[in-house]
Structure 1
Amino acid sequence: MKILYHHRTRSKDGQYVHIEEMIDALRDQGHEVIIAAPPSAEKESFGADAGMVGRLKRHLPKFIYELMELAYTVVAYRRLRKAVEEHRPDCLYERYNLFLPAGIWIKRRYGLPMLLEVNAPIFEERARYDGISLKRLARWSQAYTWRNADYVLPVTEVLGDIVASYGVEPGRIVAIPNGINMKRFDDSAAAHSAKSALGLGGRLVLGFTGFIRDWHGLDKIIDMIAQDPPGTRRHLLIVGDGPARTALERQASRLNVTDRITITGIVPREEVARYVAAFDIALQPAVVPYASPLKLFEYLALGKAIVAPRQPNIMEILTDNKNALLFDPDHRDSLSKAIGRLCADANLRRTIGENARRTIAEKRLTWHANAERTAQLFKNLLGHA
C-alpha cells in the first residue's frame, strides 16, 4: 500500500519515537510511506523542543497562539493536497493534534480511507495544564476530527472511552498501545556490566527514564533513599532531564544524598538501553490516567522488575505480582512498600523481570505488530482480503 502519513509534531522527543518507529515498521513490511509534516522536525536532535513554535506558545497570548494553530491548518491542507496529487496514496494515517482538521478535509475531498492515531485527549490535557482560551472552538475541533476519521486508534482502552464520549461509535475505536523495537534492545549489556560502565558497581539501582516533571513523584523516591541507614546500596538513576531536575537536585543536597542520586540529562535515543540495563528496579511512579508510557515498554523489553501505579490504563499491560508490582497511588506508603519488597527479594525481582520480558511477545507489544494491525485496518477499508 501507499500510505500518506501526516503529523504536526515539531519536537524531537517521545512523540517522535512513536512517529519514526511506526513509519519504519510500515516500510519494513513493504508499504510505501509518504510523510507530510513540518520540515523542521527532521533536522532536530533527539530531546530538542519545538524551537520557535515552543517560544511562541510560551510568550504569545493564548487566543493568538490558538488562532495561529488553526491558521496552520491551511498550510497543512496545502501540503497534504500536494502530496496526494503527486503520489496518489491509497490511504491517510494521521497523528491527532488540536486545531488540525486538515486531514479530514483531505479525506473528504479525495475519498481516502483514514486512520487517526490519538495519544491524548489534547483538549482536556491543555485545558487542565496550560489553559485554553478558545474552548468552544478547541472542543469542536477535537470532536470534528475524532468523529470523521474512519477508525480512531487510541493508545489505551481508557483513552478509547474518552473518544467514545465524543460520539464516536465503539466499532470505529481500536486501541493500539505503544510498542518497542526489539532490535534496539537485543545487544543490551547484563546488569552488572552496565552498572560498572556507569560507576554504579555494587549498587541496587532504582531507575527512571523520561522527561522529568513534578508530578512524576521522584521526590518521594529521594525521601525514601534519605531514610536508608549509612552504607546502604540503594541508588536512584534518573535517565533524562526536565523542569523538575533542579528541584530534585536541591532536595538531594538538602538531605545529604547527592552521592546516591544520578541524573544523566538528555541521553541519545540509541544509548537509552545501556542505561536501563543497569536498573534493578524500574520505576513508573506516576502516570496520567489515559497514557501508554513508552518507558514501560523499554522496561518490559529489558526484563526489569517494574513498580507502577495500580490504575486501569497501566493494568491493560501489567498484572500485579506477575510482570510488575503495582501500588495504590492513593495510599501514601504503597509505593515505598512495593519498592522495599523488591529490594529485599532478589528472586522476586528475577521472576517479575522474566515475566516482564515475556509480556512483549505474549501481547505483541512491538511497533512491527502495531504496523500489521494498522495495515489490516486499511485493507479492511479498501476492501482487500
Structure 2
Amino acid sequence: MQPSSRLKIGYLWQSDQSEMDKHLATNLHVQAVVQRLQAHEHTVRMVAIPDGKYKWSDDLKNWRTARLGASFEKPWFPPLESAVRRLQSTLHLPYINLFDSQRYAEACMSSLIGFDVLYERYWMMNYGGAFASRRLGIPLVLEVNGDIYEEYAQLGIKLSPPQWLAIDQVNRFIFHNAAHVIAVSEPLRQRLIKRWRLPEAKISTVHNGADLSLFVAPEIPANLPAFLRFLEEEPTTP
C-alpha cells in the first residue's frame, strides 16, 4: 500500500443502538471521532445497524441499505439459521453471535471495497469486522473502550462456563486478527496484552479511544497509533 495522507476509513459499529440522532454518550463519542477524521480530510464511511437494518453512511445522516450476500440471497441460509438456533436453544448451547456477525461482514464487504483500513468499535461478541477484514484483505484496527470482563465481574453478571469458553474463543480470534488495537488507558492496555498474549507493539494507548485534537493537527504526531501511522509502512494483511 502506498503512503497517503488521506485515507478511506471504514468505521465499523456492529450495533443496533447506532441511531446517530440519539444523544447517548457512545453515539456522541462515535460521531465526534468520525467528524474529526473527516475534518482531517479522510474519507469515512460507517457501516452500522440503525433500526435493525444493515446500512452505510458517509455523513451519519443519510443512510443507504447495504447489500447482503449468502444470508439474503441463498435460499438455504434462513432454514439453516433457524435449525441452528433451535438446536442452540434446545441444548442450551453457548451464544456465539455467528449469523449476525456473518450478515454484518457481508454488509461491510459490499460497502467498503477499495478502502484502506477498517476501524471498529469493539464489543466482545461482535466479529463481523474480523470476517470482513480477512475477506477484503484490509487491515482492521480495534478501539477498546473498557474491560468488559472486569465490568461483568463488578456487576455480578453470571455466565455458564461453556458461555465463557465461547467468549474466550471469539475474543482470541478478534484480537489476534486485528492489525492494531487502541486501548483507552494504560492499565487496560496491559490487561489486554496479558490476557490475549499480544505483542506490546500491537497495542497503543489513546485516552477516551481517540485523542481528537491529534486528528486535526497539521502533521500526524509520532504517538498517534494505528490507522493513521502504521499504514505508511507496508502492513501485513491479516
Structure 1 position 380 matched with structure 2 position 220: no
Structure 1 position 110 matched with structure 2 position 144: no
Q: Quick one: which of 185, 194, 207 aligns to 1:177?
A: 207
Q: Quick one: which of 6, 15, 19 aligns to 2:12?
A: 6
Question: CA distance change for structure 1 residues 114 and 162 in 2, over 3 Å: closer, same or farther?
Answer: same
Structure 1 position 71 matched with structure 2 position 105: no
Q: Distance in 2 between matches of 1:64 and 1:77?
A: 26
Q: Distance in 2 between matches of 1:102 and 1:159?
A: 23
Determine helix, strand or coil for the equivalent of 2:204: coil
Which deviations, in whole Å up to 9, do the C-alpha atoms of 1:91-132 show, x marking residues without a partner? 110111111222122212222122110011224423542333
Structure 1 position 81 matched with structure 2 position 109: yes
Is contact 1:26-1:368 (8 Å) kept? no
Is contact 1:116-1:153 (8 Å) kept? yes
Q: Distance in 1 between matches of 2:38 and 2:93?
A: 35
Is contact 2:40-2:215 (8 Å) kept? no
Aligned to 1:144: 173
Is contact 1:73-1:100 (8 Å) kept? yes
TM norm structure 1 = 0.42
Q: Distance in 1 between matches of 2:108 and 2:165?
A: 26
Aligned to 2:43: 32
Is contact 2:95-2:166 (8 Å) kept? no
- How far has the Cα of 1:25 moved from its partner? 0.7
Q: Distance in 2 between matches of 1:154 and 1:144?
A: 17
TM norm structure 2 = 0.65
Determine helix, strand or coil for the equivalent of 2:208: coil
Is contact 1:113-1:378 (8 Å) kept? no
Structure 1 position 367 matched with structure 2 position 212: yes
- How far has the Cα of 1:379 moved from its partner? 2.9
Is contact 1:3-1:91 (8 Å) kept? yes
Q: Quick one: which of 132, 135, 156 aligns to 2:159?
A: 132
Is contact 2:96-2:125 (8 Å) kept? no
Determine helix, strand or coil for the equivalent of 1:97: coil
Q: Distance in 1 between matches of 2:130 and 2:140?
A: 8
Aligned to 1:331: none
Q: What is the root-mean-square deviation of aligned Cα atoms in Å?
A: 2.9
- Which moved further from structure 2: 27-36 or 66-75? 66-75
Which deviations, in whole Å up to 9, do the C-alpha atoms of 1:50-108 show, x marking residues without a partner? xxxxxxxxxxx9x98973744311221111111123xx211110111111222122212
Q: Distance in 2 between matches of 1:128 and 1:78?
A: 35
Identity, in percent, stands at: 24
Q: Distance in 1 between matches of 2:104 and 2:94?
A: 15
User: Larger relative CO (CA 8 A, sep 6+): 1 or 2?
Assistant: 2
Which deviations, in whole Å up to 9, do the C-alpha atoms of 1:233-261 show, x marking residues without a partner? xxxxxxxxxxxxxxxxxxxxxxxxxxxxx
Determine helix, strand or coil for the equivalent of 2:34: helix
Is contact 2:14-2:128 (8 Å) kept? no
Q: Which runs of 5+ in 2 are unaligned?
A: 1-6, 53-59, 62-88
Alignment of 1:87-98 (within 5 A): 88-98=114-124
Question: CA distance change for structure 1 residues 152 and 68 in 2, over 3 Å: closer, same or farther?
Answer: closer
Determine helix, strand or coil for the equivalent of 2:146: coil
Aligned to 1:15: 26
Determine helix, strand or coil for the equivalent of 1:67: coil
Q: Distance in 2 between matches of 1:20 and 1:65?
A: 36
Is contact 1:95-1:118 (8 Å) kept? yes
Alignment of 1:311-322 (within 5 A): none
Question: CA distance change for structure 1 residues 98 and 139 in 2, over 3 Å: closer, same or farther?
Answer: same
- How far has the Cα of 1:175 moved from its partner? 0.4
For residue 8 of structure 2, what is the amino acid of its counterpart? K
